[in-house]
Amino acid sequence: MVERISLPRRCSASRTRALISITHRLGYLTDTQERILRLIREHIATHGEAPTITQIGAAAGLRSRASVHYQLGELETKHAIVREPGQRRGIRLA
- How far is residue 49's CA from residue 87's CA, in Å, rounded to a whole number? 12
- Tell which wins on pLDDT, 48 or 4: 48
63: Cβ–Cβ under 8 A, 6 or more apart, which residues?
57
Residue 19 in domain: no
Residue 6 in domain: no
Domain that holds residue 52: 30-93
- How far is residue 2's CA from residue 82's CA, in Å, rounded to a whole number? 27
Residue 43 in domain: yes
Residue 35 in domain: yes
Concatenated DSSP letters of 19-51: HHHHHHHHHSS-HHHHHHHHHHHHHHHHHSSPP
Question: Structural domain tally of the chain?
Answer: 1
Does the pTM surpass 0.95? The reply is no
Read off the CATH number of the domain in which 44 is found.
Answer: 1.10.10.10
pLDDT digits (tens, 9 = 90+) for 37-81: 999 999 999 999 999 999 999 999 999 999 999 999 999 999 999
